[in-house]
Structure 1
Amino acid sequence: MRPVHCNVYAALFGCALFLFCGFVPVVRAQEGAGPRATVLEEVEALVPEIRRLSMALWSYAETALVEHRSAGALIDVLAREGFTVERGVAGMPTAFVATYGQGAPVIGILAEYDALPGVGNAPVPERRAREDGVDRGHGCGHNLFGAGSVGAALALKRAMAAHGLPGTVRLYGTPAEETVVGKVYMAKAGLFDDLDAALEWHPGTETAVRNQPGRAMNNFTVEFFGQAAHGASDPWNGRSALDAVELMNHGVNLMREHVYPETRIHYVITDGGGAPNVVPEYARVWYYVRDINRERVERFYDWILKIAEGAALATRTEHRVFLTTGVHEYNLNRPLQEALQRNLERVGPPVFTEEEQDFARRLQRFLGVQEDGFRTEIKPLADAPEPPSGGSTDVAEVSYITPTAGFSVTTAAANIPWHSWAATACHGTEAGVKGAVVAARVIALTGVDLLTDAGLRTRARDFFREKTGGKPYQPPIPKDQPPPLPETTGGD
């Protein structure tokens, strides 16, 4: 299956290739003949592969825990390059770990590749379905995330081989980030325990090192079990599971007055009965509760569980709670952030053509938002962490096991809604691929720094230990709980 592309992007291929390749002689002059120069030259050699993988994953658009073709595409490239690949790790068929080298230091690179349901779109600046009928889409850009991270791992491996650098590079194929699952269960399985550091990036509407911790979260469902009856003939014989869900939701909505401004609680009713004239004997509601740290999440989670218990008592129903997953807030690591910032400024942001900027402005015009095009500046790294914003990420679990840092690169037009068809459209274009190439360069450079600079590793580890107080990582989910695979949850 191949993605549908605008003719303008095919016409711009030669121009884009010139912009990519024009980076190489400048790099060689600035970096000399060492491993940093080599790793950047290898990224340039890998640009066609990064582009191919980006477009393949965009075309597949597979959702959480069913990313079989996407994971397979990344695995095939890594295996051909000489990585040893362990598939199906942590009980998830689409999770994998690819390893090159041996011994310390061990540097991890995270790769995501799951898409979102319902946000598919052709790579055009308007709402238009794909010609192949696929309605899923990479509204978060994980096609670029996976391709860029793999490109960085391949370049780092080649530089290690060329310069005889000791150590290990490990590419983690982490599924189901959109449902905040993959890394949680991989962390619980101990797959990150021996890392000296981990690096990650994410597509976005700006180019910046991550400097805010996001929110901790619990993702859970509550099921209610009642008794069916005829809604008109004998409703007195029924016990409505839907009444219990509605009563629970009402209680939570009253609770909102008494939580902190940073707290976020959202829910959807995933099953509310089958017909109006049947008292629903089964109903289910799906909740997220988020806050600035695990302690506050657990506090409000316990409160919501008491509301659920009260709703069951009031409606004479039974109930069952399943904690699907949970995450911490992101544990920022300043030495690694500073290393990423230096390399991000060294590499520079993506360079967009006027045609690509016109695409972004036309998309913004269609959406009725400010027509700023693609952002082209690099955001400075503030002296202190910024306030929590946005949602939650399972990268946070890795950050409580080993020093971890990440960054974003502009891959989508400014001001557009994220997790939307508009972001999907951007992530299927050459402009999006440019962001993946920038990310590959930054990760590859920082990987070389971590392999060759013991002082950086020590500073990152000391900072990590000070922030965590030396406490071992505690998974937010039960120790013996298996991943919520589609076969057991009723679908992806």
Structure 2
Amino acid sequence: MTKQQLFDDIEADEDWLTGLSTDIWENPEVALQEHDAAEALGDALREEGFSVEFGVAGIDTAFVARYGDEGPVVGTMGEFDALPGMSQAATAEPEPIEEGGPGHGCGHNLFGVGSLAGAIAVKRAIERGDVEGSVVYLGTPAEEVGAGKVYMIQDGAFDGLDAVVSWHPGWTNAPNKGSCLAVDTFSVRFEGESAHAAAAPEAGRSALDGVQLLGNGIEFMREHVADPVRIHYVVTDGGQAANVVPAEASMEVMVRAPDRAAVEAVSDRVRDAAEGAALMSGTEVDVTKTSGMYGVLPNHTLGDTILANMEAADFPLSEEQEAFAADLKETLGSPSYADVPADRRDEAAEAAMFTEPLDAPDEGTTGSYSTDSGDVSWTVPLGRFRAATWPAGTPAHSWQAVAAGKDLGTAGMLFAGKVVAGSLYDLLTENELLEEATAEFEERKGDREYESPLPADADPYELTDR
């Protein structure tokens, strides 16, 4: 068998794959509520002969699908949660389908189906006897609120995997060889005593004072943390009426840094500041960690394999899709093209879709984002890449990204499926490649063993309270 057979299988399935992606796009479900999307993906895998286990890590929409019972064991991941408030029609102008409703502003409808296409193509190769091994598809919910994969790792879902290849929608075709920021997220709740703010202020203890004091403490803390550290916060409950001393108030705090140890050190200081704010305001405070993630451990061996498969696979962009991409791009204003090398930025600026593969523009950098794929990368060798599903320069979490996700993005989704399939096939057929990827993983990890950033008894559904 040639690798082209994998690509041909995906092209032959274009109609039902794009139909599945469209169904998920038209029925966007936010984190931990992705019941229809998860069921649709799981059903498609069952029909292909995968064994599918739902309810992984106590999350209704987390699942693992397996085909094969021998090694090597390779895998891919699919996300499928939408973003709140991102509803948008597939038009080149802002046009919510449902005011305030959710939408796929990060392209996870494409992500979930593209990875599924790759897993099924490899499964068919195993079934035909063209290759030996096993393939696993991990349905990973709740990426947008962080840590869905962390819970799955805790539950052993990634145990026994030799390597994983995954992707994410974007506007370039390139393997990822960089890292990103580790993060901790906290829900901080103060409890005090309510009172009439004018008639009996002395009887009250303002929970909002606690929130404000913690915010001030974080502002003073910024001067005394390393430059890469980022601390964000927002007040999520500040009371209901100005003339009532708030008995309850809360905030969300995020701590980010390139190194997991630095995140934990600053997180400890935030907890101390919360205790101090409670002491000063005469209130009680509860600090609950709702999310925690590692930065990505890159794997250049897998990145090189991904690039080779990008160069071998066709990108099936139609004239109609390219025309819509051009219309969407006109709405972007002054987009940034910093994601491509400086000598390619003029080319990106002129293109509606920038589809030519690039060799990891992020190599040696630390991106200013966080993902629970970072935790996977510390558990098993992980290859990651971006595929062009949006017009050149389109930012994630934008209405343009939602609009592109229904039809335009399916070209990049099918391309991504081919790259996943080809890369997994290489891992199953080239023993040296898997050995090199594993050796690089062990070398980069060194003596730093992965420890879950979340408590063992953490409840995944606390994420929805954020």
**TM-score band (shorter)?**
over 0.9
Letter aligned with residue 361 of structure 1:
A
Paired with 1:127 and 1:223, the residues of 2 have a C-alpha distance of 36
Match of 2:6 among 21, 32, 39: 39
Structure 1 residue 86: deviation in Å? 0.3
Structure 1 residue 482: deviation in Å? 2.6
Matched-pair contact (CA < 8 Å) for 1:196–1:402: yes
Match of 1:377 among 343, 356, 360: 356
Alignment gaps of 5+ in structure 1: 1-33
Paired with 2:442 and 2:354, the residues of 1 have a C-alpha distance of 36
Q: Following superposition of structure 1 onto structure 2, how do residues 22-171 of structure 1 map, counting pairs within 5 Å?
A: 34-130=1-97, 135-171=101-137
Paired with 1:205 and 1:450, the residues of 2 have a C-alpha distance of 26
Matched-pair contact (CA < 8 Å) for 2:56–2:63: yes
1:277 aligned onto 2:277? no
Structure 2 residue aligned with 1:328 = 294
Paired with 1:110 and 1:61, the residues of 2 have a C-alpha distance of 19
Structure 2 residue aligned with 1:421 = 399
Distance change in 2, residues 1:349/1:214 (3 Å): farther
Q: Normalising by the residue count of structure 2, what TM-score does the alignment of the two structures yield?
A: 0.93
Moved more, 148-157 or 164-173: 164-173
Distance change in 2, residues 1:243/1:133 (3 Å): closer
Distance change in 2, residues 1:484/1:366 (3 Å): same
Structure 1 residue 181: deviation in Å? 2.0
Paired with 2:321 and 2:5, the residues of 1 have a C-alpha distance of 30
Structure 1 residue 92: deviation in Å? 0.1
Moved more, 82-91 or 34-43: 34-43
Structure 1 residue aligned with 2:411 = 434
Matched-pair contact (CA < 8 Å) for 1:350–1:376: no
Paired with 1:437 and 1:212, the residues of 2 have a C-alpha distance of 24
1:387 aligned onto 2:365? yes
Paired with 1:377 and 1:454, the residues of 2 have a C-alpha distance of 29
Matched-pair contact (CA < 8 Å) for 2:176–2:363: no
Alignment gaps of 5+ in structure 2: 336-348
Matched-pair contact (CA < 8 Å) for 1:35–1:163: no
Paired with 2:377 and 2:395, the residues of 1 have a C-alpha distance of 27
Structure 2 residue aligned with 1:203 = 169
Paired with 2:403 and 2:221, the residues of 1 have a C-alpha distance of 39
Match of 2:442 among 465, 469, 484: 465
Matched-pair contact (CA < 8 Å) for 2:173–2:387: yes
1:180 aligned onto 2:146? yes
Q: Normalising by the residue count of structure 1, what TM-score does the alignment of the two structures yield?
A: 0.88
Match of 1:217 among 183, 196, 206: 183
Structure 1 residue 293: deviation in Å? 1.1
Letter aligned with residue 359 of structure 1:
F
SS of the residue corresponding to residue 194 of structure 1 reads coil
SS of the residue corresponding to residue 199 of structure 1 reads strand
Structure 1 residue 415: deviation in Å? 2.5
Paired with 1:55 and 1:390, the residues of 2 have a C-alpha distance of 30
Match of 1:253 among 211, 215, 219: 219
Structure 1 residue 35: deviation in Å? 4.8
Structure 2 residue aligned with 1:402 = 380
Letter aligned with residue 308 of structure 1:
A
Q: Deviations over 1:129-168 (max 9, x none)?
A: 11x6672111000000001011111111111111253211
Matched-pair contact (CA < 8 Å) for 1:351–1:376: no
Matched-pair contact (CA < 8 Å) for 2:191–2:285: yes
Letter aligned with residue 213 of structure 2:
L
CA RMSD in angstroms, aligned pairs only: 1.7
Distance change in 2, residues 1:41/1:470 (3 Å): farther
Letter aligned with residue 277 of structure 1:
N
Structure 1 residue 279: deviation in Å? 0.5
Matched-pair contact (CA < 8 Å) for 1:50–1:436: no
Structure 1 residue 470: deviation in Å? 5.0
- How many residues align? The count is 452
Structure 1 residue 471: deviation in Å? 4.5
Letter aligned with residue 432 of structure 1:
G
